[in-house]
A and B are shown apart, each in its own frame.
Chain A
Amino acid sequence: DAGVTQSPTHLIKTRGQQVTLRCSPKSGHDTVSWYQQALGQGPQFIFQYYEEEERQRGNFPDRFSGHQFPNYSSELNVNALLLGDSALYLCASSFSGAMGGTEAFFGQGTRLTVV
């Protein structure tokens, strides 16, 4: 089992550009969540996808959008990049079974640098 995989691992973009990050969940998982982790901070929840729909959303602007595909993989898109979007973006997957779901497993993250 490959676990949660994210691509790319590192990315450098220019302010104003758009970026797409990708995530493949752990086998058997159907729910994908995205988090932003600024340097020296804890992860902040961006949104969660289940059954190809956004189920929950954190306090992030509409520049942040996502998608989940029928195979449960997911993309995070960020438009009009700002310098403050530089961070480690983490994807987590889980299974939405009974009792609120299983524990979340995280990928290694994508380090985005906006210059």
Chain B
Amino acid sequence: GDSVTQMEGPVTLSEEAFLTINCTYTATGYPSLFWYVQYPGEGLQLLLKATKADDKGSNKGFEATYRKETTSFHLEKGSVQVSDSAVYFCAPRGSARQLTFGSGTQLTVLP
């Protein structure tokens, strides 16, 4: 079945630091790729997506590029803010049309 490996957390950064959260996946077919964010006590919010190779998804300063040759979808942000503190999930959606999640990466940004 599909699987995803994310960078182990927790990750602690100072405000305005550069963020990278690594994500690699295995999936059936030609998957779509998603990053979701979860704030404490809430459900998941879609952060960005990419549906084909070399597509770059972007939203709120976050970016991720669909790398088919390395089966990766790393999340980056040039300058994080305290409000970015949350848990981030990478999720492929393969031919089974279901999202597959890893354990997530907890990000804490300090002022």
Contacts and interface: CB of A to CB of B under 8 A. Distances in A.
Contact of B98 (A40, A48, A106, A108): A48
A98 B45 CA distance: 23
A41 B103 contact: yes
Contacts of B109: none
A35 B44 CA distance: 11
Where chain B touches its partner, the secondary structure class is: loop
Nearest to A91: B43
Interface string B47-74: 0010100000000000000000000000
Contacts of A55: 97
Contacts, number: 59
Nearest to B95: A100
Nearest to A55: B97
Contacts of B34: 103-104
Given A40-B103, A90-B43, A104-B99, 17 more contacts: A4-B43, A33-B98, A35-B101, A42-B101, A44-B101, A48-B98, A55-B97, A56-B96, A56-B97, A58-B98, A92-B44, A99-B51, A103-B32, A103-B46, A104-B46, A105-B46, A106-B44
Closest 10 CB pairs of A and B: A42-B101, A106-B44, A106-B43, A108-B43, A45-B98, A109-B43, A43-B101, A42-B103, A42-B104, A42-B102
Interface of B: 32, 34, 36, 42-46, 49, 51, 89, 93, 95-104
